[in-house]
Every structure is written in structure tokens, then in C-alpha cells.
Amino acid sequence: MPGASGKANAYPLGINPAFLLAAVFLIAYPLFASDFFTFQIGAYSLILGTIALSLTMLAGYGGMVSIAQMTVAGFAAYIMAILGTNSVGVMGLGWPWWLTAVLAILGAALLSTFIGAIAARTEGIYTIMITLAIAVAFFYFVRQNYQIFNGFTGFAGIKPPTLFGVYWRDPTPFYYLTLAIAAFFYFAVLYGARSSFGLGLQAVRDNPRRVRALGINVFLHRVVAYFYAGIIAGTAGVLLVWFNGRVSPGIVGVDMAIDILVIAVVGGMRAPIGPFLGAIAFVLLENFAIDLIDRERFNTVIGLAFLLVVLFSPDGLLGIWRRMESRIRLPRANVRWGGRANRGDWHPAGSPERT
Amino acid sequence: MLKIAGKTLLAAAVLALASPAAAQDTIKMGGLATLEGAFAAPGQDSIRGIRMALEEHKYTAGGKKIELITGSSDASPASAIRATRKLVEQDGVKVMIGPLSGSEGLAVKDYAKTQPNVTFINGTSAAQDTTLRNPAPNFFRFSTEGAQWMAGLGEYAYKVKKYRKVAVLAEDYSFPYTQVFGFLEPFCRLGGKAPVDARFWVPIGNKDYSSVIAALPDDVDAIYVALGGADAINFLSQYQQAGGELPLIAGSITVDQTVLGSKGKIRKTVIGTPSAGPISDTWDDPRWKAFVAQYKKMFAGKGGFPSPSLFAHGYYINTKAALLALDKVKGDLSDGGKKFRAALSSLKFETPTGMVSLDERRNAIADIFLTEVVEGPDGNLVNKTIKVVSQVSQTFGVPYKEFLKYGQVSRTNPPCK
Amino acid sequence: MQRRTILILGIVLLTAALLWMIFAVWPGWLIDAIGRKKTFVNTLLNGITLGGLYFLVASGFTLVFGLMRNVNLAHGSMYLLGGYIGYEVAEATGNWFFGLAVAFLVIAVSGIALQVAIFRRMQGDELRQTLVTIGISIIAADLMLAVWTGTTYQFDTPEALYGAVVLPVISVIKSSGAPVFIKYPMYRLAVLGVAAVVGIGLWLFLNRTRIGMMIRAGVNDREMLAASGVNVHFIFALVFAIGAGLAGFAGVVGGTALSIAPGEDIRYLLASLVVVIVGGLGSVTGAAIGALLIGLAEQFGLAYFPTYGVVLTFLIMVGVLAIRPQGIMGTR
């Protein structure tokens, strides 16, 4: 996992051995893991990680913490049920899977752009408040609307296609599907950060006023970032509805929205690997906490982990990892992670302007 | 956190390797309830119900030890599926008890179809379609559902209370739809009216009913109210405070003990309100009394309610059925549970609330209690049993094909013009 | 000037129409168009009183933000905790007003603790403060669930405030010629009164006292205020105490009007968020306007189109944001 600014050449062949090891592990994972671990732990972590990745991209590179990323993913999931096939008998227009999937992702991206257009007019903490309000509004809307979204009940019986003789809901194929998509977006964000758009976005994050003075359209940069984030979250939303086989308002509720924030923050927002680490930790806890502690207080555990991370390790698990690593190999680690400017203040842009 | 996760992974890997060999003399039973979130209290009572049945059988059935593994959801179908999948695919349970709420039940039924060798028995989920339409061959419900719970109430309102026109106030989701359907179907067939524009569907969790109360029509004989828990308490006390004077008819969870025992000023409003449901707290029957005594013995002072809730009751009955059927097949699940499921299908047994058996879609035929709120001897509000409606089936005795023509429950079914 | 005249004329006309709708006996065509007068007047009053309750919660939120740029997303938890504490005290002492006072004080102290332990240490790092308060609210919600379970609590309304009063507003004239007057719960009128008193009190405090002057100076320019020798820490803690205390106070007031149960924390947090986004962050007047708008929207939505009533609130928010991103009374 090289840093975003990529001084990765220090390793033989230009590849970090830890990265190679991780890749081999991820590809070989279904060979030794049970179906349950492949599907419910592996694939689900990758899906949640991808949704959280879209937040990491917005927050880490763009300085915009959007609570509505789960809403965007959920919207894609709903489109899959509405335009595709479901077993509920409401909507389900029966369009072919590839068309619905493309439309779902585009629809999610448009919703994300719309949210961005509202939120990006304001700055800093306003973004959290507005996206939170939008997320809740969307939740209420789908819960009350029976004509299109089938209200409280939602939709069931949404299946991925059988393609090349493979049923893509089977654990191993589904795992590889999610892995491929997650890896694609991981690299897209990693390298996109070095593109002129990515650099521009980071500049907007660090000092919007200066960027504006340079003649760059700050608002447009932000909205385009929301569009990209919408594509990531929307694609993950399609995977999510295939994973669950169903979609109902709970999926876009406040709890889930906050869970995504927890995953992104606990994992670490400094690099695109963070949200995946966070998702793995979250999914493992969600599944096995009941065997270790009293499940009743699950939210206290999650909340405490979140609070501790925010208080003591703003870079999340990633930050802990980095500190351990830098203790072992001090000089190189510093070079690798110092690439991004303004290490200390990862708060969003705009605060200097507002005070 | 990473450390915990690592440990878990290790533990889980060990378990995954060890599980096939160890399961010779024990049968793993999964219990799924909502142990987190706002439904945690009913979820805990559900687990109490399971434990009562297991205790009665000394944790053995058919000569094998029963090992209970609990799972938790937050009442959303997605989380119910994840917890069920973990219990079935990771922990290797062969018999599942649960879930608690309606939409979870529908989700678990769908999942059951993908696990033909595991037997799923309901907890208290009470959606009609879990067994009525596209039932799963390995999903059983020994507890009754939301429409059945209303049995006898429509006739009672029309014939005894002589109501001819009612307004409806209910939460806007499938469980109240089912209850409204169960109440209105007989009421309207007898000639009662409940126009669609006099039905008020409020979002679940709404707290402020004052404007809804103002909008309720005056030209009706009574209001049928299907709200649960906090929503019910809010409505009832606000209705009393606003000086509302129409008599009420209540859904199964609108005037239960949690509502009647609350601190709200609802006395004037609720006294005389008829309701119906699968249990009646004050039923004067030795079987029920023994059940309550056992519940109190096990859980009084340990977090239990003053009297078992319908959640404890439903989970108890379903667990009990599983244990009785396991006894019958001598704990033999080696054929993927085929014999076990056959035994369940033909099971007929005595419960604290009367005889229970299954119809051909594996839904319970059981007794339903018609009750009315009265002031108890020590001044507290209790539900008095008026009538036991015996052996209510899911189709209310109408042939299955005929019953399907009534259509799915919804805001406007039955139209009742 | 031209625009202003039109605006004032519009407001006068609207007020006149509203007054006529409240006091006149409705003609048949109006009833046919929008239903009974009783529903309308009751809904209007409900909207205004709910707005009063929202104002109590949101004014603290906006005050804290206005001075310190702290977004306290644990504000809803403070509302709920205030409700629970007030309930316990009122139960133990049998005095509702005592419960109200203790809730205010305890939550005010917890607000100071939060300010000293969290916000002071992270001054300037807004996002981190916000995330910390999210973490606190997750834990607080779960711990409150552990202590007070999922049960719904309702206060014993003080006798003096219980029951319905007859308003001098005629609903319909019966065929016999006797007028039917509209009844309205006493307590809800009291909520409105309390909100008005708190609003006016806050205004006087901010505009007519020395400390209020300092606070307003701090809102405009924190550094200058500190530089001119004022103990900023004291001012900050005081504002935080008032803001938090108001949330606890509102917990008892709102818990008595409605009830307290898990989930109310998020509800009132969201109400506060929407109110201050619409009204403008940092402005107490804005909070009053926003609260009134949102309260009315919610109640009219519930009475006239219950299915989508909740969404109406958020449409207002999006609409305001599209036209005035800083909110109605907000300043850039």
C-alpha cells in the first residue's frame, strides 16, 4: 500500500512486498476459507469497504465528509430492484441485468452529484449536517412511498445473472466479482489522486480561497468529485443488493450511514486502503462480537472504538499501522507517508475562511 | 480492535475445522432475536421463552444434548439474514428458531429455501405471506400471525358493540396492514363501514398525534387503533388530553401490558377497549397459570417482565414444538432433517394457550383471545378475557384458493365501502 | 425600497387572511376545499407549539455554534438524557418543576464537561469535534438504552397544566344555532409560552447585558475578544452550559408534551439540524423562524398528507439551501 504520492521505487521491482503478500492472500482466500467466510466476511467487507472508499475519497482528498454515501449506494440498490426483476410484485420492470446495472450506477452518480451540488455550496461542517439531513429525508421518502419504492417492506428476490455458466451469487464467484471491483476502484482512487483533477481537489481541500484566486472553479471540482464518488458507491450498491438479495429502507437508515462513517474513520482516511481495513474490522466484530461479549452492548463497543480512534489516532487503523511501521523503519516510512501535504490538519477546507 | 479481530479470526478458523466431528451427540439449535437496538427488550424476552422450553426438556431431546447458540439482529431483514447465515453456515445449527418481526420473517423464509437441510421454525414474526404465499417447505410457524390475532374482534365490534362505521388509525407498514385486514374483513362482511379516506396511516415512530387527532372524523362510532409500544402510549395519552370521546378498538400490541403498565394518563380512554391477540395475561386457565408461574420462577428479579410477553410465549411454543418433534425422531437428523420435518408437520400439542397444530402450509391453527381493558382489583389496568376463539386457521376457515382472492394486505384492503 | 414594500404588503395580506381563517366561521366552499375548520386551526396551533419546542432545542445548538463554531452532534443525546434525568427526579420528589430544574442543571454541567474535556482541546479542528460528538452520541444512546431500556416514559403533567382549554374560536355553528368552540390542550399552550419566554430572555441576555455583549463580540471576532482581555474560556463554558442546559430543559418540556424513548435523541438532533440550516447557523432569531417553519410543515404534513408529511420538512430545507445557502438569517 504505497502512499498516495508514490515514492514506491525504493522496493525491488518497484513493488512493496507487503502489497504483494496482500494481493496473493486476497486472490487465494476462497481456496482455504469456508463459504461463509468467503461470502459473508470476505465479499461483504469488500462491499462495505468500497462504499466507505467513496467517502474516503470525498473526505480524505476533497475535505467533504458526506454522510449520504450509503444513501447513494442504497439508491443504486433500489434502481436494481425497480428496473430489474424482483419477487414482490411491485415495479420490477424486468429490464436486462446489464442495462439496469449501468442505469443504477448512473442514477446513483446523478443523485450523488445532486447531493454534492447542494452540499458543495456550503463548506466544512455544513456538509456533514446537510448530507445527514438528506440521508434521513431519503430514508423517510422510500419508507413512505409505496408506488415506486414499496415502502417499509422494500423489495426481495433480486438476483445477479448467470453468466458464462457461472451463477454470480455463489460465494466464490461473487467474492472474486467484489474483489475485482474493489481493486479497480482502489487503484482508480490511488492513481486518480495524482491526476490533475485529483491534485486540484486536494488543493481545494487545503485552501479553497487560494485555488479560487487561481481561477479554478472550486464548486465544479467538488461536484465532479461527488459524481465520481457516486459511481463508486453506486457500483457497490449494485453488489450490495446482489449480496442481500433484497433492499428495504433499513439499508439507507441513519444507522447504516453512520456505520459507513465509522468504517471510514476507524480504517483511516489518509489512503484508499483505510476503508477496507475498517470494513474488515467492522464485519468481523459484527459477526463474532456475540461470541465474545454480550451482543446487547455492541453499539457501545463500536462507538468506543470510533471515539478512541478519533481521539487518539486520527488516521485510524492505518495510523496505528504506520506508527508501528515507522518505529521499525523510521526514515523510509516518513518519506512514504509525508507525501501528502498538511499532515496534521485533516479537517476539511474552509475552516480558515469561516472564522 | 485489530487484536480482537485477529483472535476472532483464529477462533473461527479453529471452529470451522472442528465443527463436523464434534456434532455426534449434540444438536445445535440457533435462536435469533433482536438483542440490540430499540427492540432489545422484546428480544431478551424471546430468548427467555426459548430457555423455558429448553429447561423443561433439561436441554435434551431425542436422547441428544441441545446446544443453544444465539444470534442477534437489529430488526432489519438484512441483519436478520446475516445473523441467520452465520448461525447456519458458520456455527452449523440444524434447527433455527426465529426471527422476531414480520419483515425479518419474510427474509428468513426466502433464505430457508436455499438451505433445504436446515429446519427453520418461526419466533414471533407475524407477517401473513411468510406462510400464505410461496411458503418454504422447511419453514414452520407454530405461533399465529397478525390477521389471525384479530379473530373474533370484527364480529364482536359489529354484533356486541353495535358499531357500524369506524375510522382506522395505524402505523404505516405491513404488520398493521395485516391487523387492519384481520379486523375489517369480518367487520365489513357483516355490513360495517370503514371508508378508505377515514384511514389514517402514520409513519412508525411518530410521537405527535395532536394533528391526526384533530383530523379524525366525528361521524364514526369508534376508532380502530393499531399502534405499538411508544406510539400507542403517545396516541392514547394525547387523545385523552385533547378530550377525545370516541370509543376505541385496539390491535394486538396497542393495549398490551407494556402500554397499560406505562405511566401515561390513558385510563379514561382505554377502559372498555376491546382487543384480540395470541395471549391473555389474565386467562383463568391452569395451563396458562402454570406457564406464568414457571416464567416468574425462572426470571423474576433477573430482568424478566411481570408476566411473559407474547414474544416469550411465541418463542416458547416454537421451541417446544422443535423439542417434541426431536423426541419423536429420537434426535435423528442424519437424513438432512426429513423425518424431523415430517414429525413437525404432523405435530399436535398442548400449549399454555391451548391446542396447536399446523395447516398444509405449516402455519399454526390455534386459539385466539378476545379481551377487554378493565380496572383490576388493585386499581391497575388489565385485559380481561371475554372469549376464547378456538382453533383459528390462517384463512379463517375459508378455502385456501378463495382466501387468496381477498388479495394481499395493504392500506386499502379490504375496500369496505 | 420597491421590493420591500411588496414584501410588507404580502405579509400584511397573509396575516389578514390567516386571522380571517382563524376567527371567521368558514363558508361551505372553503370546507369543501380544505376540510373542517377544527382540523385547520388545531393543526396550526400544533405547528406553532411544536415550533416552540423545536426552538427550545435548536436555540442552544445554534448559540454554541455561533460563538465557538462547535457543532455538537451530541445535542440530541443531551435532550434525551435531560428527559430521563428530569423524569427520575420528578418521580422521586413528586415535583415536576424540580425535575425540570435539575435536568437543566445536570445537562448544563455535562455541557461544561464536554466543552472542557473535548472541545477546548480540539479548538479549531471542527471536523474532529464533530466526529467526537458522533462517537459520544452512539455510546450515550446505547448506555441510556441499557439504563432506561426501550420503555417509553411519560411525565405526570403538573395538575395546573393538564387538560384542555376552550379557545374563543368558533369551529362550527350547530344547526340549533349554538356555536361550538375549539378545545386545545393547556400544556401545549404552556410550551409555547415557555418558548417565547426563553426566546425573549435569550434576546435580552445577548443584547442588553455585558456578558451578552461579550458573546456577540466573540461571535464576530473571537481573537479580538480574547485580545481585549476577556476570559474567553469562561465565556465559552458559560455559553456551552446555557446551550446544553436548554437541551436538557427541552427534554423535560418535550417529554411531557409527547414522551421520551430511545430514538428521540436522533429525532431532535435532526430537527435541530434542519431548523438551524433553514434559519441560519448561529442566529437565535433564525432558529425561531426555522423552528416555526419546520413545526408548521411537520404538522400540516401529518394532518393533510400524512404519507409524505415527513418529506415536506426536508424539501423546505433543500429549497432554502438552493436560494440562500447560509440560511434565512445566516450571514456569510
pLDDT at C208 over 80: yes
Q: Is a pLDDT exceeding 70 seen at residue B21?
A: no
Query: In terms of pLDDT, which residue wins out, B10 or A316?
Result: A316
Q: At what angle do helices A274-292 and A316-328 cross, to 10 degrees?
A: 110
**Strand B166-171 with B119-121, pairing:** unpaired
How far apart, in Å, are the Cα atoms of B146 and each of A117, A241, B151, B183?
45, 28, 9, 10
- Cβ contact C236:C115 at 8 Å: yes
CB contact under 8 A, C302 and B202: yes
In chain A, % of residues over pLDDT 90: 29
- Domain residue ranges of chain B, discontinuous segments joined by +: 26-143+286-364, 148-277+376-404
Cis ω before A12 (30° cut-off from 0): no
Res. A130 pLDDT band, cuts 50 70 90: confident
Out of C73, C274, C318, closest to residue A118 by CB: C318
Which CATH code fits B148-277+376-404?
Answer: 3.40.50.2300
pLDDT of residue A296: 62
Q: Name the more confident of A306 and B116.
A: B116
With beta carbons less than 8 A apart as the criterion, state whether B371 and B353 touch.
no
Is A73 buried (19+), middle (13-18) or exposed (0-12) by CB count in 10 A? buried
Helix (H, G, I), strand (E, B) or coil at B385: strand
Fold match flag (B26-143+286-364 vs B148-277+376-404): yes
B184-234 pLDDT, tens digit each: 999 998 999 898 888 988 887 777 888 888 888 888 999 999 998 778 888
List the domain range (segments joined by +) for residue A187. 8-354
Asked if C146 has any chain A CB less than 8 Å from its own CB, the reply is yes
Residue B111, CA distances (Å) to A193, A311, B80, B82, C37 in order? 41, 41, 10, 10, 52
Q: Do C150 and B38 touch (CB under 8 A)?
A: yes
Residue A328 — pLDDT band, cuts 50, 70, 90?
low
Q: Are C127 and A296 inside 8 Å of each other by CB? A: no
Mean pLDDT of A91-107: 89
What is the pLDDT, as a whole number, of residue A353?
Answer: 34
Q: Among C329, C286, C332, C295, which Cα is nearest to C313's?
A: C295
Question: What pLDDT score does A293 carry?
Answer: 66
C-alpha cell at B209: 398525534
For C48, which residue in chain B has the nearest alpha carbon?
B211
SS3 B166: strand
| Chains touching B (3+ CB pairs < 8 Å) | A, C
Between chain A and chain B, how many beta carbons pairs sit less than 8 Å apart? 113
CA distances from A99 to A161, B51, C14 (A): 12, 50, 51
Q: What is the pLDDT of residues C104-163, one digit of tens each?
A: 999 999 999 998 888 888 877 777 888 889 899 989 998 998 888 777 788 888 888 877
A95 three-class SS:
coil
- Nearest-CA residue of chain A relative to C69? A355
Chain-chain contact of B207 with C188 (C-beta, under 8 angstroms): no
Residue A20 within a domain: yes
Residue B14 has pLDDT above 50, yes or no: no
Cα separation values, A166 from A163, A171, B256, Å? 5, 11, 51
- What confidence tens digit (pLDDT) does each residue in A149-166 have? 888 888 888 888 878 877
Question: Contacts of residue C267 in chain B, CB cutoff 8 Å?
Answer: 205, 207
Q: What is the mean pLDDT of residues B108-120?
A: 92
Q: Closest approach of chain A CAs to the CA of C314, in angstroms?
A: 6
How far is CA B379 from its chain centroid? 29
**Min distance B283 CA to chain A CA atoms (Å):** 33
**CA angle (C266, A350, A197) in 5-degree steps:** 105
Q: What is the average per-residue pLDDT within A246-256?
A: 88
pLDDT at A73: 95
Average of per-residue pLDDT values in chain B = 86
Confidence check: pLDDT of B6 > 60: no
Tell me the per-residue pLDDT of C270-293, one tens digit each, with 9 for 90 and over: 888 889 889 988 788 899 999 999
Between CA B235 and CA B227 the distance in angstroms is 8
User: Residues of chain C with pLDDT > 70: what percent?
Assistant: 98
Q: Is the model's pLDDT at B22 over the cut of 80?
A: no
Put simply, the answer to whether B79 touches A146 (Cβ < 8 Å) is no
Omega of the bond prior to B99 within 30 degrees of 0, cis? yes
Q: Which residues of C touch A118 (CB under 8 A)?
A: 318, 321-322
The answer to whether residue A353 neighbours chain B at the CB level (below 8 Å) is: no
Q: At residue C324, does pLDDT exceed 60?
A: yes
Does position C220 have pLDDT exceeding 70, yes or no? yes
CB contact under 8 A, C273 and A126: no
Query: Coil, strand, or helix at residue B371?
Result: strand
Distance, CA of B169 to CA of B305 (rounded, Å): 28
Q: How far apart are CA B332 and CA B323, in angstroms?
A: 12
> How would residue A189 be classed by pLDDT, with cut points 50, 70 and 90?
very high
Which chains have 3 or more CB–CB distances shorter than 8 Å to chain A?
B, C
pLDDT in tens, C58-98: 998 888 887 777 788 899 999 999 999 999 999 899 889 99
Digit-coded pLDDT (tens) for B331-390? 889 898 999 999 999 999 999 999 999 998 999 999 999 999 988 887 788 888 999 999
User: What integer pLDDT is reported at residue B2 of this predicted model?
Assistant: 40
- pLDDT confidence band for B295 (50 / 70 / 90): very high
Rounded Cα distance, A170 and A46, in Å: 16
Say whether residue A322 is in contact with chain B using an 8 A CB cutoff: no
**Residue in A137, A302, A347 nearest the CB of C314:** A137
What ipTM does this complex have?
0.79
* Spatial separation of the C-alpha atoms in residues B356 and B347, rounded to whole Å: 8
What average pLDDT does this structure show over B139-146?
A: 93
> Is there a domain that residue A2 lies in?
no
Q: Is the CB of C273 inside 8 Å of chain A's CB atoms?
A: yes
Q: Cβ distance A278 to A52 under 8 Å?
A: yes
CB of C38 within 8 Å of a chain A CB? The answer is no
Grid coordinates of C4: 420591500
> How would residue A295 be classed by pLDDT, with cut points 50, 70 and 90?
low
Q: Residue A152: its chain B contacts at CB < 8 A?
A: 103, 172-174, 204
pLDDT of res. A294: 62
In C, minimum Cα distance to A298 occurs at C142
> How deeply is B195 buried, as exposed, middle or buried, from its count of CB atoms within 10 A (0-12, 13-18, 19+)?
middle
Would you state the CATH architecture of domain B26-143+286-364?
A: 3-Layer(aba) Sandwich (3.40)
The answer to whether residue A41 is domain-embedded is: yes
Contact with chain B for residue C156, Cβ under 8 A: yes
Tell me what the mean pLDDT of segment B48-60 comes to: 93
Question: Comparing A323 with B138, which gets the higher pLDDT?
Answer: B138
Residue A3 pLDDT > 60, yes or no? Answer: no
What is the rounded average pLDDT of the residues B134-138?
92
Closest approach of C271 to chain B, Cα-based (Å): 13
Contact A284 B9 (CB under 8 A): yes
Residue C69: its chain A contacts at CB < 8 A?
Answer: 125, 351, 354-355
Q: What percent of chain B lies above the pLDDT cut of 90?
A: 49
Cα-trace Rg, chain B: 22
Q: What DSSP string runs through A183-225?
A: HHHHHHHHHHTTSHHHHHHHHHHH-HHHHHHTT--HHHHHHHH
Q: Is the pTM of this model over 0.90?
A: no
pLDDT, greater one: C209 or C165 = C209
Indicate the average pLDDT of chain A: 82
The CA angle B225-B231-B234, to the nearest 5 degrees, is 95
Amino acid code (one letter) for A80 = M
Mean pLDDT, range C167-185, rounded to an integer: 77
- What domain count does chain A have? 1
